[in-house]
Chain A
């Protein structure tokens, strides 16, 4: 097992090859996209080692493996590298058959992918609004738009009458959405959930999930990390 959670920066030695039957996850502790992959790994009980990357000073060996230098990225013992959060999650669900997160039917999978596509249009608001606030811009229109999008998600839950987005147990789409909702309070967007009670209840159920509990950070930690980012010196090793 990896000895450290501290991030690897430029000039650091490359980690050894991935042992047979294992997986390396290249990550950053506070990245919401990487958290998606960690949720899938934890939920499915897959054995893996995490190598956190200093995203401001990426190690050369990391860029050799993964020219785009993005996290999350997975590396197998065969040297296969997979990147992009949703691609890593689908890969894991296909390569590790225990505890399937995607439905087996083609239409069930399509439904998950369509919902993910919808949600991909929500994500930019989690960045745009806080960033506009910092420069003193008026964010009221954007907040209205975000509330509308939350209302649609709320409607989905209301119509289906399920505890989670695609059933009464957690599936892939819940994990893909979770990391952003985990950060909603620290991003000062919690009030946008005021008129979406089903969506609120969903967040409360998610907080009970073991994989969420294993990968989440509390509000104070998120706050401290965002502060370090806003100051131009992201503290990737915060708390270690």
Chain B
């Protein structure tokens, strides 16, 4: 009826104006608290000296671009996945390959090590996340024990076990994140809100509670409550896709790396961006970021084949690392902070210390 249409239009209009006024109020609130910049607070902090960081190990064996890697809690094993469909588990001390499995799809964009060290998870263009128990029995075929856990309607871009081997968090090109029970494959919670592909996620350090952050092609970073499925905070200051997000070790902030060639730090308690790590000379996207143990250093891998090391507090670059012969696609600091590993489109992984 004509009057219903009119009523709906009025409701829509009033909702739109409420949204606008709320957005304005949010900006005002955030601006009021913006009394100082992080680097100003850090002015008197002693500057960092010269860093000597070199490639200490090179892991060769993938037949195509390395897309993702993760460390085992034992601080020495690494799992990596590639465009060639292979997932390899390495001993990073000796560079030996301990396990290898061929996925039924190419572009395995995500892989993760289980907290127990007894399984790995991976997925990509198959739209799934599968878990493979790691076995040392030569007679056992790893692929035979494969368990399909997550099902998305588009590619899997990221996955991570929660505190146990029992649950997995996934991010997908279908614009959602989801929490799954590994044993039953049941969907426990889904997270809707991104307006485009979700490219990355990171779980908050266990002491900080049940939240995680995700970043996507909609330029937004969103923080989620794992129990309710609710988005609790959202940040939209990047000018392009967010390729990587990583929590600051205290859990009170997180860093992001984007195709807009910047990395940024967002503080969760101030509810705003508090630092930008950029240089005019850096024009290629940052694909992956991670913090050193104290949070003072931010390592970022870029599409121009380099790794930049940033002083998180002062906002300046302290080192630039060369070595990879193509884009750096993935980067993680080891669990005990003694080294970090980078994976690249040049088919190799490098361990730096």
**Chains A and B belong together in one complex:** no
Chain A interfacial positions (CB closer than 8 Å to B) = none
